[in-house]
């Protein structure tokens, strides 16, 4: 089954058509910069452009960088505050003319990484997946089950929001060397281990492609891995999420 996956990020919206059985992207990844200010209507318009460029008609899965319940955003750390209380699914649907299913971006990236990536051998473990980008996204799995909307990127470290110290964007913004940035990430990982005790930690987000530049500075009790799907996880996982929702609706209709 083919579904369009859209990964909404603080810096860009990215989309591709995905074969949800194999987890493979069937098209090029379309990437359009997040409009200045990250306002709802502007971003929805960009989602519409992605759909147009890929000439898509059909269900859309969307990963959105906030707490998302039943398609509605309940937070807005790196997008405009007017997203709070807005139905991402309804608004994107209006601009794309397609049914849209939305969940937290890290949660959906985690779904993809657990099924097709670094997590697939760790189904029986407690796995924490981090997406290091504009913010820090977190997805927690126990025996393959996701605990949604964990928002562990916002714990406080040294009086600051953790993602303001250890996200990938902070490395670029503050012009930190990989070594110096890895010290912040190490401290963050130590907090995660103390609070959650995962068996496996998977580092994802665009920066995972540069793993050879910083993995040597990190040391955890948990098995520490880098994501296999790199920056495709958000798109593939968004499509997988839509598939889950469609199957659930089908099952309800049958019973
Ligand atoms: C948001 C999360 C999101 C993460 C990664 C954080 O600032 O609060 O909801 O998953 O960034 O985009």
pLDDT at 160 over 90: yes
CA angle at residue 238 from 235 to 241, to 5 degrees?
155
3-state secondary structure of 162: coil
pLDDT at 55 over 90: yes
Tell me, what's the pLDDT at 192?
98
Contact between 64 and 88 under an 8 Å Cβ cutoff? The reply is: yes
Give the long-range contacts of residues 208-216, CB within 8 A, separation 24 or more.
Answer: 208/132, 210/178, 213/178, 214/178, 214/179, 214/181, 214/182, 214/185
Shortest-distance Cα residue to atom 9 of ligand 1: 66
Which pLDDT band, with edges at 50, 70 and 90, does 103 fall under? very high
Distance (Å) from CA 52 to ligand 1 centroid: 27
pLDDT tens across 174-215, in order? 999 999 999 999 999 999 999 999 999 999 998 999 999 999
pLDDT at 82 over 90: yes
CA angle at residue 141 from 139 to 147, to 5 degrees?
70
Shortest-distance Cα residue to atom 12 of ligand 1: 65
pLDDT average, residue stretch 22-46: 97
pLDDT at 250 over 90: no
Cβ of 167 less than 6 Å from ligand 1: no
Give dist(CA 5, CA 240) in Å, integer: 8
């Amino acid at each position: 089954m083919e579904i369009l996956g859209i990964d909404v990020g603080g810096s860009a919206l990215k989309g591709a058509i995905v074969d949800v059985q194999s987890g493979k992207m069937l098209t090029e990844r379309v990437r359009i910069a997040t409009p200045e200010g990250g306002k709802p209507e502007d971003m929805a318009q960009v989602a519409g452009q992605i759909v147009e460029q890929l000439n898509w008609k059909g269900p859309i899965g969307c990963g959105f960088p906030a707490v998302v319940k039943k398609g509605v955003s309940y937070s807005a750390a790196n997008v405009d505050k007017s997203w709070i209380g807005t139905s991402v699914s309804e608004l994107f649907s209006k601009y794309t003319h397609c049914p849209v299913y939305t969940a937290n971006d890290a949660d959906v990236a985690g779904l993809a990484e657990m099924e097709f990536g670094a997590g697939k051998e760790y189904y029986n473990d407690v796995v924490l997946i981090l997406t290091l980008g504009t913010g820090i996204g977190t997805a927690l799995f126990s025996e393959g089950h996701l605990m949604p909307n964990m928002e562990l990127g916002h714990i406080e470290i040294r009086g600051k929001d953790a993602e303001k110290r250890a996200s990938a964007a902070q490395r670029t913004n503050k012009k930190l060397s990989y070594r110096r940035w890895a010290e912040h990430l190490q401290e963050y990982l130590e907090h995660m281990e103390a609070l959650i005790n995962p068996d496996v930690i998977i580092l994802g987000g665009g920066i995972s492609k540069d793993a050879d530049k910083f993995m040597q500075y990190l040391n955890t009790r948990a098995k520490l891995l880098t994501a296999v799907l790199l920056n495709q996880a958000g798109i593939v996982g968004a499509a997988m999420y839509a598939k889950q929702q469609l199957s659930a609706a089908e099952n309800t209709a049958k019973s």
